[in-house]
Structure 1
Amino acid sequence: MARTEIYGIRHHGPGSARSLRRALEEFRPDVVLIEGPPEADATVELAADPDMKPPVALLAYTTDTAAKAASADAGDRRHRAAFWPLAEFSPEWQAIRHAVGNGVPVRFCDLPAACQLADRPESTDGPPGADGQAGEGDPPASQAAAEEPAAHDGAAGSGGGEAELIRLDPLGWLAQAAGYDDAERWWEDVVEHRGEGPSPFPAIAEAMDVLRREAEERSARGEQVVSEAYARRERRREAYMRRTLRRTLKEGYQRVAVVCGAWHVPALRADVPASRDEQVLRGLPKEKVAVTWVPWTHGRLAQWSGYGAGVRSPGWYHHLFTSPDRPVERWLTEAARLLRAEDLHVSSAHVIEAVRLAEALAVLRGRPLAGLEEVTEATRAVLCEGAEEPLALIQRRMVVGERLGAVPARTPMVPLQQDLRAAQRRLRLKPSALVKEQDLDLRKPLDLERSRLLHRLRLLQVPWGRPQSAAGRSKGTFRESWTLQWQPEFDVALIEAGAWGTTVRGAADARARALAAEATALAELTSLVEQRLLADLGEAPAAVMRALADLAATDQDVAHLMAALPPLVRALRYGDVRGTPTGPLQEVVDGLVVRICVGLPPAARGLDDDAARELLERINAVHEAVCLLASPADGRAPAGRPAAKEHLDRWQDTLAALVDRPGLHGLLEGRLTRLLHDAGRLADVPDRMARAVSVGQEPARAAAWIEGFLSGGGLILVHDEALLRLVDGWLAGLPADSFTDVLPLLRRTFGRYAAPERRAIGERARRLGDPAAGRPAAEDLDPARALPAVRTVAQILGRPA
């Protein structure tokens, strides 16, 4: 006689996973049904591959949109997708591993992904997935929260009545009935921390049966439970599970194990006529879908990531599952090892004392085993000695964890994913959930290829690498600094990008061409041209260059021209470094520089503070670009075109004419004075500063002048005592109320300097009253001792000692 066992589990629970594995070993089923999309049946055997390392996720995505790749509307190519994540401590994963390890068939019995994605609205109730439309789910987010106590912390359904609380958070309701204010703690005490003993599944099934009857009775009395759309979706899911179970039994299987969310157990045990289920399932919408496995991370299993079935501490749960004996001692030992790796002093005595404290707290609170809260409090008090920073490190590295799973090479993938994986192996760039800093030297072929790959992925909206900000990277054009971190949703982005091509380079080129055809703003088009060169997609097509030249010639807004110049200059410079042809790009740059020099003086008239500050940022960017243009990588101006040095001279002439214009904003006048002083174009800087900070000037304008002049760095005050005396005298002579008014501006200026700069300025200012201070007397000098230092400096300067 056929026998069916239904195991109601909690997704991602180590206690549930351990109990389920033990129950399956005792029951020895000849087929296992698991809550999940049946389209994944063809890929489940990959779980036996040794290269499959959880956490992983089943990814289902629509495929019929790929036929719309020729459409210009990117929205037409967007796939809807859903994830079913599985960790090593997930009961479903353990059921799969048990079945494939024993040669037992595995089938997924939930509503097909083809129906779930077709029925999913544009904006779901669950957390957004990688494409902004689909939710992450295990099961999908639309029902995950309904089965998980962690989703609501025992306080779900606020404002919806007791019936809604029972339906949306059944385990939270049970926790309240047991006197717990935290459903997570209650579930850990009764299931996760339990050792050997009778199976918990009969008790769980009985509890769910009572809760469902209570919810139905309250709903019959008119209490709000869930929306009609949600209820309809749940009825369809449970009807499909019953249909799959009936068909499995008809095939002659005698020992059937069903693994599903605890809430569904009573529904699967119910005696519902097949005709009624067929009526519920009639007319289901469908989409064309594909299913594959993708790597996942523990961070994406955590509740804070927005995952409806998430847990608070994936790393802790992984530890509980993999360390069934003495988990507290092992956890605190690992925490001590982590802190020692960060050069923090943690001894064996610390670990012993922390274990004792955690166990004492568990006894005081009546818990069978010290949980994460007790261990965390012991870690804070003993190992971290009350400091929060080391505790935050443990929280990030251990409690949540930074584990990234892996899938076998034979896993079904779109061609673009396969091409990227081959490139990652070839370039030795391994994806990781950890944040990794990567410095690239573009003179090395390997690093140059890595840079091109990362730039191409950014064009495809797969930001695996993020270039570091200009403030934190080297000014040298041969170096790039990236921050790398792989996210699971990048696989969906790659599937999306597969509509553009089958290789990373081809897809990036196709998307760049499409974006260029749609670009209407000059800055947008220039940025795209820069991205093409950085990604080594070849010279921009003639149509793109014509559009760029036309926009540059017709745009009358000098602010737009100034915003467009820096990316084009960077593209020229990087084109030289990377060996990428730049073609007619130089001609566009030549025209932009001339038009900016002509249009800047009128644009600088009558500006308020905000407008002046905005123009100052653009002037700084253009100045840096023109200086970069004047010193190309090979040290020579491009043959046959106006010398880059002429652009620098024209730009400096424009600034020199503008700095003496009456009515120029003080911020701009100060900054232009500094730029011309650094270029050696002004010999009367002390006189100009003296006039700017004289008694006749408004304190606010004088402060703005000083801010603009010093915005390039404060070392000039260290090396030019005359300027330092002028600033010091102006500050000392300010009335009290004026000093209070200008103080915020000055603090903002000096606060941007590095601590050594501020310290050096302060030391020089302290010695202003004593000209002899800090300078050794001639009789104190020892030429013999100074000679080695003099020789070293002379050698550095290339002069004879």
Structure 2
Amino acid sequence: MPRTEIYGVRHHGPGSARSLRRALEEFKPDVVLIEGPPEADVIVELAADPGMVPPVALLAYPADTAARTAPGGEPDAPGRRAAFWPFAEFSPEWQAIRHAVETGVPVRFCDLPAAHQLADPAEPAAAAAPEPTEPDGDETERIRLDPLGWLAQVAGYDDAERWWEDVVEHRGEGPSPFPAIAEAMTTLREDLEARPLQGGHAVPEAYARRERQREAYMRRTLRRTLKEGYERVAVVCGAWHVPALRAAVPVGQDDRTLRGLPKEKVALTWVPWTHGRLAHWSGYGAGVRSPGWYHHLFTSPDRPIERWLTAAARLLREEDLHVSSAHVIEAVRLAEALAALRDRPLAGLEEVTEATRAVLCEGAEAPLALIRHRMAVGERLGTVPDSTPMVPLQRDLQAEQRRVRLKPSALAKEHDLDLRKPLDLERSRLLHRLRLLDVAWGEPGPGGGRSKGTFRETWTLTWRPEFDVELIEAGVWGTTVLGAADARARALAAETATLADLTSLAERCLLADLGDALPAVMRSLADLAATDVDVLHLMAALPALVRALRYGDVRGTPTGPLRTVVDGLVVRICVGLPPAASGLDDDAARDLLRHIDAVHESLTLLASAPAPAAAPLGRDAPAESRPVARPGQEEAASDHVNRWQNTLAGLLDRPGLHGLVEGRLTRLLHDTGRLDDVADRMARAVSIGHVGHEPARAAAWIEGFLSGGGLVLVHDEALLRLVDGWITGLSADSFTDVLPLLRRTFGQYAAPERRAIGEQARRLGTTAPSRPADDEDLDLARALPATRTVAQILGRPV
């Protein structure tokens, strides 16, 4: 007589996993059915490979994802759908798979096929139930979406996870919990069926419809398995489904439930997963609160509290915090005492956390947060064997990761790359190519990760499971990372409609060393630059081009076409700026000022030659990693700077110039040494009696002059006296009007800078104006090196 055992489990519960393993060893099934997509039957045997280390997940995606493109070249939106079925070591389903492959027993998945789940346009594919609703929702809705939460409430618990831990996860050796779980679910479902779902709850109704389809397919699979002649069938599914699989439902009813379901061709594979993605706060409906804690409970059944607190103490010692063995002993005693007071069979994470805070951390929250992040949740990243089905782009990335010696990790790691070293240069190119494919494995630091004038880039690398989906989608562009990034850059060049975006794309091509795609990008860039007459668009495009030129030189990348475009842009900007600066309101003046600052900084950067290598690179270093002098480039950059400064000087005295712009131009030309009458200009600007110089315009002039830093007031006492005299001479009404502008200006300075200005202003009334030092007091020979350095920084001729 065939015998079927149905084991209702929590999807990621260590107690369920341990009890299930014992039950399977006792039952000795000749086939195991597991809740999951049946398309994965052909790859389930990979679980026996030593290279398969959980957490891992089954990934289902449309089989034609790599071939489906939208008219513009982007992957079509439907191709971006995917579903995951995660497994941790403490997942009961994973332990059922391991038992089957270790004993040579067939293992099959019995859930609704992924082909139906991904094809349903009305409901995204999901591997588990949605998250529970709020406690004040409709009672029937709450039972449907969170049956365990409802049982916990009936048992007097305000936390469903804590109730499940007490009755299942923290159980030691003893009777199997599965009969009691099945009885509880049966009673709950019978009560639910007696309560009709009230109107207005579309989401629960859609969820219930999908659940009926899933359970019908599970029953169909079970019938087919028994018909094949298996005598001892073990079924592992979510506890909620146990009564449905035991019910005597007619075959015809299940056939009607499953008739006409949409279907799509799908592919399945195994991918690495992380503990962080198993946590419920990640959005995973069947997630648990503390994956790291559950992993510990499953792998350390002997004295778990003592082992956990010992590991926490070790972690704190690694952070140079003093934690002794006596701390650990007292923390264990406190956790056990709290569990006894709360009538819990074993100290849970709450008790252990409270003991950790009180004893190991001595009440401090910062070290406790570290323990929560590293241990309670954890960032364990699983691995899959090389024999796992992958698209060519995934395999190429794995080869590239081995070649440049960058191992994926779920824990964020910072990398400081020296682009003079061949290995670091290759790492940088790989990370930039992946970003072009929207695979943000590496996040650059501030300023794009580059330090001005150096050969260094900073990156933060964090591998996330969804990158595998993005790689599958990016397969439309090519089979290798280099080829796919090259094709994607060409497609973007054909689609991009703004000059600033095209210049940014050109910069990205240089950083990724996409020499084959760069000509196409440059053709689009040159065509658009020749027809764009908006000077603000031209100014917005210049900074990215200059960065590409500068750091392209550092990388040894050919940049001739870029330099040609830059030369043309600078000339057109200088010609178009004066007309664009006329008749501006406050918002337009502020916008123009932002572009002027960006162009000024870019041209100053362009005029400074790449810094030479600090040390020899060795004979084996490739030529592209060495700085190369290019004749004529320094002269061209100097010409651009002179043309730009002449344009600013000619614009400065134009009538009707907005005070904000006039003040900023005065400051820029003052910093470059082009003005020797700054004090007189400021005096005229802030003069209350001067025609047309009302307080608001004077405040705008001051804001423009001081934007970007107020150290000029610290080191130039004459200018500080002018500003101070103007402010103290304002009437009460005028001071009230200009105060918001002044607060905005000075509020942008760092605290030490504001403090230095205040100290200088406080001394103004007690000291006479200082005089410049006599020439005989200066040691010109000693001052010359410092003067040259400062002049180069400011962009002045040396």
- Give the TM-score taking structure 1 as reference length: 0.88
The alignment status of 1:658 with 2:635, answered yes or no, reads: no
Between stretches 699-708 and 58-67, larger displacement belongs to 699-708
CA offsets 1:694-727 (integer angstroms, 9 cap, x no match): 4445444334333332333333333333333434
Tell me, in whole angstroms, the C-alpha distance in 1 between the residues paired with 2:781 and 2:575.
Answer: 50
Aligned to 1:685: 678
Give the Å deviation of 1:639.
Answer: 4.1
Question: Which residue of the partner structure matches residue 56 of structure 2?
Answer: 56
Q: CA deviation at 1:767?
A: 4.7
Change (3 A) 1:71 1:296: same
Contact 2:511 2:552 in 1 (8 A): yes
Aligned match of 1:249: 226
Match of residue 573 from structure 1: 550
Partner of residue 428 from structure 2, selected from 448, 451, 454: 451
Residues 544, 247 of structure 1: CA spacing in aligned structure 2 closer, same or farther, 3 A cutoff?
same
8 Å CA contact retained: 1:529, 1:540: no
1:536 maps to a residue whose letter is: D
Percent identical residues? 78
Q: Are residues 184 and 590 of structure 1, via their aligned partners in 2, closer, same or farther at CA, if it must alter by over 3 Å?
A: same
What residue is the counterpart of 2:775 in the other structure? none
Answer yes or no: is 1:509 the counterpart of 2:505: no
What is the deviation of 1:739? 4.9
Q: Equivalent residue for 2:388?
A: 411
**Deviation of 1:637 (Å):** 6.4
Aligned letter for 1:470?
Answer: G
Q: Using a 3 Å threshold, how does the CA distance of structure 1 residues 772 and 405 change in structure 2: closer, same or farther?
A: farther
1:533/1:539 contact within 8 Å kept = no
Partner of 1:92: 93
The number of residue pairs the alignment matches comes to 762
Q: Report the Cα distance in structure 1 between the residues aligned to 2:99 and 2:418, rounded to whole angstroms.
A: 48
Partner SS state of residue 706, structure 1: helix
Structure 2 SS opposite 1:257: strand
From 409, 424, 436, give the equivalent of 2:413: 436
Tell me the SS of whatever aligns to 1:285. Answer: coil
- Contact 1:163–1:225 (CA<8 Å) still a contact in 2? no
Structure-2 residue corresponding to 1:778: none
Aligned to 1:33: 33
Please state if 1:296 is matched with 2:268. no
Residues 726 and 327 of structure 1: is their aligned pair in 2 closer, same or farther, counting only changes over 3 Å? farther
* Counterpart check, 1:555 vs 2:545: no
Q: Distance in 2 between matches of 1:736 and 1:55?
A: 69
TM-score computed with the length of structure 2 as normaliser: 0.89
Contact 2:444 2:459 in 1 (8 A): yes
Aligned to 1:719: 715
Give how far 1:347 is off: 3.9
Structure 1: distance between partners of 2:717 and 2:318: 47
Shift of 1:513: 0.9
Give the Cα–Cα distance (whole angstroms) in 2 for the partners of residues 692 and 797 of structure 1.
Answer: 30
Cα deviation for residue 650 of structure 1 reads: 0.7
Partner letter of residue 235 of structure 1? Answer: R
Q: CA 1:167–1:534 in 2, change beyond 3 Å: closer, same or farther?
A: same
CA distance in 2, matches of 1:631, 1:22: 72
Cα offset, 1:381, TM superposition: 3.5
Cα separation, partners in 2 of 1:59 and 1:581, compared to 1, 3 Å: same
Report deviation, 1:213: 1.2
Gaps of 5+ in 2: 611-626, 772-778, 790-798
> What residue number does 1:781 align with?
none
Give 1:203's aligned residue.
180
1:33–1:257 Cα contact (<8 Å) kept: yes
Change (3 A) 1:519 1:101: same
**Structure 1 counterpart of 2:552, which letter?**
G
Single out whichever of 213-222 and 438-447 deviates more from structure 2.
213-222
Corresponding position of 1:332:
309
Matched with 1:487 is 464
Give the superposition deviation at 1:438: 1.7
TM-superposed CA distance for 1:197, in Å, is: 1.2
**Deviations, residues 342-364 of structure 1 (Å, cap 9, x unaligned):** 33444444434433333333333
> Separation in 1 of the partners of 2:769 and 2:181?
83
Deviations 1:434-457 (A, max 9, x none): 222222221111111111111111
**Aligned with residue 705 of structure 1, among 701, 708, 719:** 701
Q: CA-to-partner distance for each residue in 1:231-265, whole Å, 9 max, x for gaps? A: 33222211221222222223332222110001111
Query: Residue 395 in 1 paired to residue 337 in 2?
Result: no
Amino acid at match of 2:58: L
1:12 counterpart residue number: 12
Relative to structure 1, the CA distance from residue 714 to residue 572 in structure 2 (aligned partners, 3 Å threshold; closer, same or farther) is same
More displaced stretch, 389-398 vs 723-732: 723-732
**Partners of 1:772 and 1:387 in 2: CA distance:** 53
Q: Judging changes above 3 Å, is the alpha-carbon distance between structure 1 residues 559 and 223 closer, same or farther for their aligned structure 2 residues?
A: closer
Task: Give 3-state SS (helix, strand or coil) of 2:403's partner.
Answer: helix
Offset of residue 465 of structure 1: 1.3
- State the Cα deviation string for residues 417-464 of structure 1 (Å, max 9, x = none): 000011011101111112222222211111111111111111111111
Aligned-partner SS, 2:233: strand
| Structure 1 residues 459 and 179, CA gap change in structure 2 (3 angstroms) | same
- Shift of the 769–590 alpha-carbon distance from structure 1 to 2, 3 Å rule, reads same
- Residues 119-139 of structure 1: CA deviation (Å, up to 9, x unaligned): 253xx4xxxxxxxxx55x4xx
Deviation at 1:764, TM superposition (A): 4.2
Counterpart secondary structure, 1:523: helix
CA distance 1:693–1:346, shift in 2 (3 Å)? farther
- How far off its partner does 1:730 sit? 4.0
**Counterpart code for 2:132:** H
What SS class does the counterpart of residue 576 from structure 1 fall into?
helix
Higher mean displacement: 709-718 or 67-76: 67-76
- Cα distance in 2 between the residues matched to 1:569 and 1:275: 71
Larger displacement relative to structure 2 (565-574 or 540-549): 540-549
Q: Which residue in 1 is equivalent to 2:354?
A: 377
Is contact 1:63-1:79 (8 Å) kept?
no
Give, in angstroms, the shift of residue 341 of structure 1.
3.0
User: Would the aligned equivalents of 1:164 and 1:226 in 2 still touch at CA under 8 Å?
Assistant: no
- Counterpart-to-counterpart distance in 1, 2:675 and 2:197: 88
Match of 2:613 in 1: none
Report if the CA contact (8 A) 1:597-1:651 is conserved: yes
Work out the CA distance in 1 between the residues paired with 2:473 and 2:198.
Answer: 48
SS of the equivalent of 2:99 reads helix
More moved, 718-727 vs 766-775: 766-775
Q: Which shifted more, 291-300 or 340-349?
A: 340-349
Per the TM alignment, residue 275 of structure 1 is displaced from its structure 2 partner at its CA by 3.7
Q: 1:220 to 1:598 in 2, by over 3 A?
A: closer
* Residue of 185, 190, 205 corresponding to 1:213: 190
| Partner in structure 2 of residue 669 of structure 1 | 662
Structure 1 match to 2:112: 111
- The question of 1:320 aligning with 2:313 is answered no
Question: Deviation of residue 756 (structure 1)?
Answer: 4.3
Whole-Å Cα distance in 2 between the matches of residues 334 and 694 of structure 1? Answer: 70
Unaligned runs of 5+ in 1: 125-133, 146-150, 776-786
Match of residue 152 from structure 1: 132
SS at match of 1:58: strand
Q: Which amino acid aligns with 1:709?
A: F
Task: Determine if the alignment matches structure 1 residue 357 to structure 2 residue 334.
Answer: yes
CA contact (8 A) 1:92 1:259 kept: yes
In 2, the alpha carbon distance for the partners of 1:174 and 1:316 equals: 23
Q: Is the 8 A contact 2:18 2:298 kept in 1?
A: yes
Contact 1:88 1:318 in 2 (8 A): yes
Higher mean displacement: 357-366 or 433-442: 357-366
Change (3 A) 1:797 1:674: closer
Could you say if the C-alpha distance between residues 343 and 728 of structure 1 is closer, same or farther in structure 2, counting changes exceeding 3 Å? farther
Q: Partner letter of residue 718 of structure 1?
A: V
Say which SS state the counterpart of residue 57 (structure 1) adopts. Answer: strand
Query: Distance in 2 between the 1:509 and 1:721 partners?
Result: 56
Q: Is the 8 A contact 1:297 1:405 kept in 2?
A: yes
The reply to whether residue 612 of structure 1 matches residue 589 of structure 2 is: yes
| Cα distance in 2 for residues equivalent to 1:517 and 1:224 | 46
Counterpart in the other structure of 2:439: 462
How far has the Cα of 1:41 moved from its partner? 1.4
Write out per-residue CA displacement over residues 18-47 of structure 1, whole angstroms, 9 at most, x where no aligned residue.
Answer: 111121122222221110011111211222
Q: Does 371-380 or 505-514 show the bigger shift? A: 371-380
